[in-house]
């Protein structure tokens, strides 16, 4: 029996058959939650890449992100008779709503892809962006920040997510008993929450130039231009939430985008 304590996490299992079917129609055929994934590690059955679904109450939405795992084995003891199995887990910095996936496949002309296709390393734009999440004068949270991807860009917002580490590690003995993890729930990572996708043919000249700056790793200039750009999509700031956080309601999302 797996005996370990995981930090509190949002709901991570789709328990609505209709929602499960809806995600399957968007190319997400199976999701694995954090608690389920740890149990699968103990059994040695975790895949090397998979979709993780979560409900994000602060975004008033749910989404999926790609996860990569790597298995390593070490032997200890004078006769190397004790086996220690460790799993290294890295989660993508790109979270995708069902709507953003639908728009990506529709507008890019791409057939459904594996989770690894959407995996984004914890480096580059998602790490260096210094987006001003909130427009105080207009009492809005911007949701039109750009994340260049393939032949277009995802539009959405940056937010900070509490995690264990950039690379989480879980260790088990040869019998599958949990030994150790490096999870520290005080660690925060910047994540891009994609709400829709636009093909490059749909972009304004300003959006195209910002994507060029991002792809050229001119992150400071790209951040400044994004913050100065006219707001095209946004959410109202809820009265109950601090304006220093990227929270919002889905009510004002333009689903035609």
pLDDT of residue 249: 34
Average pLDDT (192-203) is 95
Residue 5 lies in a domain: no
In angstroms, the CA 96 to CA 220 distance is: 25
Residue 48 lies in a domain: yes
pLDDT of residue 142: 78
pLDDT of residue 177: 86
42, 46, 49, 54 alpha-carbon torsion, rounded to 10°:
-70
Residue 176 lies in a domain: yes
Residue 30 lies in a domain: yes
How many structural domains does the chain have? 1
pLDDT of residue 247: 30
- Unique residue bearing structure tokens 């729930």: 185
CB burial string 211-248: b at 16+ within 10 A, e below: bebbeeeebeebbebbeebeeebbbebeeeeeeeebbb
Residue 114 lies in a domain: yes
pLDDT of residue 99: 95
Taking only the tens place, the pLDDT of each residue in 36-82 is 898 899 999 999 999 999 888 878 889 999 999 999 998 887 666 77
pLDDT of residue 253: 34
Residue 169 lies in a domain: yes
Determine the structural domain holding residue 111 and report its residue range: 17-242
Q: In what order do the strands lie in the sheet with 234-236?
A: 134-135, 140-142, 234-236
Residue 202 lies in a domain: yes
Q: Provide the mean pLDDT of the chain.
A: 80
Residue 225 has pLDDT above 50, yes or no: yes
Residue 253 lies in a domain: no
Residue 202 CA, chain-centre distance (Å), reads 24
Residue 174 has pLDDT above 60, yes or no: yes
pTM for the full predicted model: 0.80
| pLDDT-based confidence at residue 165 (cuts at 50, 70, 90) | low
């Amino acid at each position: 029996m797996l005996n370990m304590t995981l930090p509190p996490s949002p709901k991570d299992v789709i328990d609505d058959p209709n929602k499960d079917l809806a995600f399957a129609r968007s190319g997400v055929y199976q999701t694995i939650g954090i608690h389920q994934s740890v149990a699968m590690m103990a059994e040695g059955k975790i895949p090397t890449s998979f979709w993780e679904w979560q409900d994000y109450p602060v975004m008033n939405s749910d989404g999926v992100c790609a996860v990569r795992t790597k298995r390593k084995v070490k032997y200890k003891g004078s006769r190397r008779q004790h086996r220690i199995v460790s799993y290294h887990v890295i989660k993508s910095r790109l979270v995708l709503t069902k709507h953003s996936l639908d728009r990506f496949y529709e507008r890019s002309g791409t057939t459904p892809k594996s989770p690894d296709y959407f995996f984004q390393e914890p480096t580059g734009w998602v790490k260096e962006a210094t987006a001003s999440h909130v427009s105080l004068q207009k009492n809005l949270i911007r949701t039109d920040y750009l994340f260049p991807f393939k032949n277009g860009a995802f539009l959405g917002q940056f937010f900070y997510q509490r995690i264990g580490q950039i690379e989480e590690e879980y260790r088990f003995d040869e019998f599958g008993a949990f030994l150790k993890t490096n999870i520290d729930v005080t660690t925060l990572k910047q994540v891009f929450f994609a709400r829709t996708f636009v093909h490059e043919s749909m972009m304004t000249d300003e959006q195209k130039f910002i994507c060029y700056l991002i792809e050229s790793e001119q992150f400071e200039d790209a951040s400044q231009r994004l913050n100065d750009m006219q707001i095209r999509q946004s959410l109202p700031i809820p009265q109950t939430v601090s304006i220093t956080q990227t929270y919002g309601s889905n009510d004002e999302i333009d689903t035609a985008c």
